[in-house]
Structure 1
Amino acid sequence: MAELLPFRALRPTVAAAAEVAAPPYDVVDETEAAALATGRPHSFLHVTRPEIDLPAAGPGAAQADVAHSDAAYAASRSALAALVGAGVLARDAGPTYTVYAAPAADGSGGTQVGIVGLVSAAQYRAGVVRTHEHTRPDKLEDRRRHIEAVGAHDEPVLLLAAPDAGVDRVLAAVTARPPDLDVPEAVDGGAFRLWVVGAGPDDAPLVTALEAAFAAMPDLYVADGHHRSEAAALVWDGSGRPAGGPDDAPVGWFPALVIPADRACVLPYDRLVTDLGGRTPQGLLDALAADWQVTASAGPVRPARRGEVGLYLGGHGWYRLAVRPGVVPDDAPPVVRLDVSLLQRTVLDPFLGISDPRTDPRIGFLGGRTPADLAAIVDSGRFACAFTLHPTSPDDVMAVARSGEVMPPKSTWFAPKPYSGLFVHETVPAG
């Protein structure tokens, strides 16, 4: 069964939180990170993107070499220790959960809310924490080295959980009270609120209820953070796999924001292709007609349901594609039923010659953007066409993970991702 345990988080003071909170390391590139951290010495980007504080690569050297250098990993550790030493980050007096809420990124006006706690690397290895994506060796090695150098897991993994009445009752009770931290405008324009659960005199029943609710769940599902999860397990493997709880063997645990599936926000992950594989625009439309009903559209297309895809052809406008009955068998495995799989199987591979979207340079991916954004990119001449998709649902993610299959690359865009620096789990105290 699953476990999500409270822990003594290293977190910013209320006064410093807005400056500390930073977008996850993989959401911003070096230039963006440097701009966001300029004039903000306490930004957590100094920990997660240390290359912004190091000399640029010399002639003939790649800047990525700086980011993955021994000096960079050492700088991450020093930056975290400096934040602790300055009193900007402080440890909880005792184990706590954190309820974390942020505005949903889909424009619905809703809120994405979940619970931050520690997940066991042993349960990850046992498959209780289920995955649905492949990982890349280079990214794994970077995350492993970062964790070991910093002596902490400084960014939470995002997990999905099946909806649970006990968890819902706790979330309702906690979010009914004033937040312990409310940042209406973070450094990148986002917002979040959080509640610390376990520090107050009346919180014991809430902590007990959360521990019991998660202990009764058969599994959890990685939504975002496959590399961080696997890297955490690799660090645990390399430590000799000490047994025990978070206080006895902190290296065996890593932080996660667990969101009930019915509260998660998933945005579409669209595709762009550089050329039409030797076909004319009309030739492509004619070829698609075998599996799709093709209808011209007067404006941008964002599919409203599964089985629909939008197509923008440079110079020819928008089309709505609706899959014909029988193309997706009713008894097809979960991964085959995904729209991203359907597009790959019936369009990208047979007609555009993209057999491996993981490695083919002719395909690009864009998450969380509008159809108009994609059309503008095509019209710039960089790509010949774009495909807009309906978001993959959290239920689809969990079904694929349960089946043991792997989803196509860039199938989901969970947003917003939690800010970094708000709940750090130390494996080696920073100072």
Structure 2
Amino acid sequence: MPAVFPFHAVQYAQAVVSRGADVSPLVAPPYDVLDAHAKAVLLARSDKNIVSIDLPHIPAKELGPPAAYAAAADTLAQWVRSGVLTRRNSPVMFVYRQAFTFAGRPFKRTGMACTLAVRPFGPAPGGGVLPHEETFSGPKEDRMALMKATATQLSPIFGMHPDERHAAVAVLASVTDTRSPDFFARTADGTLHEAWALDDPATIARYQSALADEDVFIADGHHRYTTALNYLAQLGGAHDLPPDHPARRCMFVLISMSDPGLIIGPTHRVLGGMAGYSRDALGSALAPYFTLTPVPGSLQSLHEALHAHGAAQPGRLGLWDFASGTGVLATLAAPDPLAQRFPDKAPAWRTLDVALTQHLIVEQVCQPLLNAGKPVQWAFPHSVQEVIDIGAGRELGSGGGKSFSPQLAVILRPTPLESVRAVSRANLLMPQKSTFFFPKLATGLFMNPLA
């Protein structure tokens, strides 16, 4: 892994001066899961919530006006001047633990907030930084404008590392088992976020040693890491930056892949706006590739069937037709149907449920055969209930809108963690929205100054 370091964190002052401080009103989820309503709810709790700075423009999937980013920078500077935020004099790492419930079961997930030497994506001697998903251009432009205006990395990137000897986990436990957290927050999803500031050189050295020669896999934050690369390149083009310049380091929360709380949830697809779509037309178009088995009952019944019989079989999807309220299990029948189109991709990539959905169902069936070659409309819900709400018009979903008319839901299983590792190490990228790591890291617990 690239070298990891403590950093001169910028934090809310009360998290530094008040032991056991509750900073719940001040933190936010990552920018890319928030809309205008969610921002307003956060600001109603506190006008000093980090969302004032981290989400100056909505939607963040596209570049906003320069005034929005200038206002965010002004707010950050004013909060530092007035003492709302403070910068630590000595560098620290933070042990960061999240306690949460997923699928009715309690979990804890623990990582280390630190900075990582910025290097290009890809394998490297001593460990590389490996992405697993494709990215969009708009969010990278938005994050770059915000980083340039504030000279601050406002939220950590979620990284994973193998930790097969459990050495990193042992270092984290040596902190969490011996003292209470220095500050905490509870977010709207019920997750408890706890953090321990770590400035002990010996413990930091043990952690750095535990990560030697390990790859880091980006779980969440591909756009933000690309932004860090671009920011460094722009600064380096104008200045001869010293080796320890803050812009050469990027803030991560690093979590062991052996942590039992490392949970991946599904990201389903809801498709619509297809002029030639019908249940029968879809069935005929998919017949060369899939065996379609009707599943009586509700959408929840389809979801349960997907996870029951043959649940580990690759190439197995649930398809729900909103007009008729019926579902089928689609089981891959054709041998490796993406091989001809993607001969350079590994079989493990070509049989991913998300790859089959994107490159076979959408790009080879829905768009050309059911929508005259035009792009379909998308939403990306994470739960069956969200799919139901989108179908009933109670929720639009990302990618939706007033003109979005849901026709088809593709119900997916979570992408396995081993698939993420294998695809990343093969230097391949999954389609966008292939993984949903739950819960999200909180923004506002600590920030990384780049000036």
Cα-to-partner distance string for 1:81-109 (whole Å, 9 max, x where unaligned): 23323333233342222121223563332
Distance in 2 (CA, whole Å) between partners of 1:139 and 1:278 is 32
Give the C-alpha shift of residue 188 in structure 1.
Answer: 6.0
% identity of equivalent residues: 25
Code of the aligned partner of 1:340: V
Structure 1: unaligned runs, 5 residues or longer = 53-62
How many residue pairs match? The answer is 408
d(CA) in 1 for partners of 2:289, 2:375: 26
Tell me how far 1:361 sits from its aligned partner: 4.3
Once residues 261 and 39 of structure 1 are traced to their aligned partners in structure 2, the CA distance between those partners, rounded to angstroms, is 35
* AA of the residue aligned to 1:26: D
- Distance (Å, rounded) in 2 between the aligned partners of 1:66 and 1:366: 18
Query: Partner amino acid for 2:142?
Result: D
Q: Which amino acid aligns with 1:317?
A: T
Superimposed CA distance per residue, residues 324-371 of structure 1 (whole angstroms, 9 cap, x where no aligned partner): 38447999433212111123344333332269x9x96423132422x2
Q: Does 1:17 align with 2:23?
A: yes
Give the TM-score normalised by structure 2.
0.81
Instruction: Assess if the C-alpha contact under 8 Å between 1:312 and 1:319 holds in 2.
Output: yes
- The equivalent residue for 1:310 is 318
Change (3 A) 1:178 1:133: same
SS at match of 2:428: coil
Shift of 1:174: 2.2
1:375 aligns with 2:373: no
Q: CA deviation at 1:287?
A: 4.4
Task: Give the distance between the partners of 1:426 and 1:125, measured in 2 at CA.
Answer: 25
Query: 1:120 and 1:231, CA in 2 relative to 1: closer, same or farther beyond 3 A?
Result: same
Structure 1 residue 124: Cα displacement: 4.7
Matched-pair contact (CA < 8 Å) for 1:269–1:365:
no
Amino acid across the alignment from 2:50: F
Partner of 1:166: 167
Deviates more, 1:119-128 or 1:155-164: 119-128
C-alpha distance in 2 between matches for 1:397 and 1:366: 19
Taking a change above 3 Å as real, the CA distance of residues 382 and 221 of structure 1, as seen in their structure-2 partners, is: same
CA shift digits 1:22-74 (9 cap, x unpaired): 1111110233212311251221011112359xxxxxxxxxx889972232222
Quote the residue 1:391 is aligned against. 414
1:79 is paired with a residue whose SS is helix
Q: After superposition, what is the alpha-carbon deviation per residue over 1:248-306, rounded to whole angstroms, capped at 9, x for unaligned?
A: 31111110111222432211111112156635413433543443332222232333234
For the residue of structure 1 that corresponds to 2:8, the secondary structure is coil
One-letter amino acid of the structure 1 residue matched with residue 197 of structure 2: V
CA contact (8 A) 2:269 2:378 kept: yes
Letter in 2 for 1:404: N
Structure 2 counterpart of 1:78, one-letter code:
D
Measured after TM superposition, the shift of residue 313 of structure 1 is 0.9
Of 345, 354, 357, 1:340 maps to 354
What is the SS of the residue equivalent to 2:211?
A: helix
Q: Measure how far apart 1:144 and its partner are.
A: 1.6
Q: Which runs of 5+ in 2 are unaligned?
A: 16-20, 340-344, 394-403
In the other structure, the counterpart of 1:120 is 117
Q: What amino acid does structure 1 have at the position aligned with 2:133?
A: E
Identify the residue that residue 410 of structure 1 maps to in structure 2. Answer: 433
What amino acid is the match of 1:377?
A: I
Residue equivalent to 2:92: 96
- Give the drift of 1:155: 0.9
Contact kept in structure 1, 2:163 and 2:210, CA below 8 Å: no
Structure-2 residue corresponding to 1:142: 142
Matched, 1:281 2:279: yes
- 1:321 correspondence with 2:333: no
- In the superposition, the TM-score normalised over structure 1's length comes to 0.84
CA RMSD, 1 decimal = 3.1
Amino acid of the structure 1 residue aligned with 2:327: W
Paired residues of 1:130 and 1:222 also in contact (CA < 8 A) = yes
Say if 1:283 and 1:123 are closer, same or farther in 2 by CA, change over 3 A: closer
- Are 2:269 and 1:271 aligned? yes
- Distance, in Å, in 2 between the alignment partners of 1:288 and 1:261 is 36
Instruction: Quote how far apart the aligned CAs of 1:425 are.
Output: 0.8
1:425 aligns with 2:448: yes
| Alignment partners' CA distance in 1, 2:4 and 2:413 | 31
**Matching residue of 2:41:** 35
SS at match of 2:76: helix
CA 1:234–1:277: 2 relative to 1, 3 Å: same
Q: Distance in 2 between the 1:345 and 1:75 partners?
A: 41
Give the structure 2 partner of residue 59 of structure 1. none
Deviates most, 30-39 or 250-259: 30-39
User: Which of 253, 256, 270 is the aligned partner of 2:252?
Assistant: 256
Q: Which moved more, 1:151-160 or 1:84-93?
A: 84-93
Distance in 2, Cα, partners of 1:6 & 1:311: 48
Contact 2:62 2:139 in 1 (8 A): no
2:85 maps to 1:76:
no
Name the aligned partner's letter for residue 320 of structure 1.
L
Bigger mean CA offset, 386-395 vs 189-198: 189-198
**Aligned counterparts, 1:357-376, within 5 A:** 361-369=375-383, 371-376=384-389
Give the SS at the match of 1:26: helix
Give the Cα–Cα distance (whole angstroms) in 1 for the partners of residues 107 and 154 of structure 2: 27
Q: Aligned partners of 1:296 and 1:243: how far apart in 2?
A: 62
Stretch moving more, 21-30 or 359-368 = 359-368
Is the Cα contact below 8 Å between 1:293 and 1:321 reproduced in 2? yes
Please tell me whether the aligned partners of residues 100 and 192 of structure 1 are also in contact (alpha carbons under 8 angstroms): yes
Aligned pair partner of 2:107 in 88, 105, 110: 110
**Separation in 2 of the partners of 1:45 and 1:83?**
13
Measure, in 2, the Cα distance between the counterparts of 1:124 and 1:158.
Answer: 15
Q: Quickly say closer, same or farther: Cα 1:188–1:234, change in 2 above 3 A.
A: same
1:80 to partner: Cα distance: 1.7
Which one-letter code corresponds to 2:352 in the other structure?
L
Structure 2 distance, partners of 1:51, 1:137, is 16
